[in-house]
Structure 1
């Protein structure tokens, strides 16, 4: 009985590792620069930090407005706040006051 044996060449031994390296490098490239990669994650974290700062600023603004509204409610009405709102609504000033229009 005869057997036919093929001699393994150097090129034949390198085909599978070369294809494996090519496929792995493709996936590694997309893992870093793709839509959901590590660079996109850093950009999303920066965007989230900006939005959180804007949110904190809006919360502070809302808190100030809530305090002003609380001062206008019945029972805790301050005369200065009432005077300020009445003058602003009626566009009235005294003779000795200086009016600065914005």
Structure 2
């Protein structure tokens, strides 16, 4: 008798329980899964960080490109040439004061 009563009630509970379990499963993976909302947010943060790094690197590249253009034979800048020669030869004039900075 008790077993029959449990079986009869279980039939009414099993369907909603399985449905609720499926909803909870999919809701969890919508937020926490590999392609969930948190992963999407992290990916957007990584993209923003990569774009900032790219902007910094492009700025450094543009600066180096500008300095290289100043050393080209068709447009040789005398100040740049003197700066590079002093740096390469490790020399200066007698009337100059040289301030050494640590490399960054």
TM-score, normalising length: structure 1:
0.85
2:81 alignment partner in structure 1:
82
In structure 1, the gaps of 5 or more residues are: 1-8
1:73 alignment partner in structure 2:
72
RMSD: 1.5
- The separation in 1 between residues aligned to 2:83 and 2:55, in whole angstroms, is 28
Which consecutive segments of 4 or more residues in structure 1 shift more than 6 A?
none
Query: May I ask how many residue pairs the two structures share in their alignment?
Result: 95
- The separation in 2 between residues aligned to 1:83 and 1:15, in whole angstroms, is 86
- The separation in 1 between residues aligned to 2:84 and 2:10, in whole angstroms, is 88
Deviation at 1:12, TM superposition (A): 2.3
In structure 2, the gaps of 5 or more residues are: 1-7
2:14 alignment partner in structure 1:
15
Output aligned runs, 1:1-102, within 5 Å. 9=8, 11-102=10-101
TM-score, normalising length: structure 2:
0.84
Which is higher, the Rg of structure 1 or of structure 2?
1
- The separation in 2 between residues aligned to 1:100 and 1:50, in whole angstroms, is 36
Deviation at 1:11, TM superposition (A): 4.3
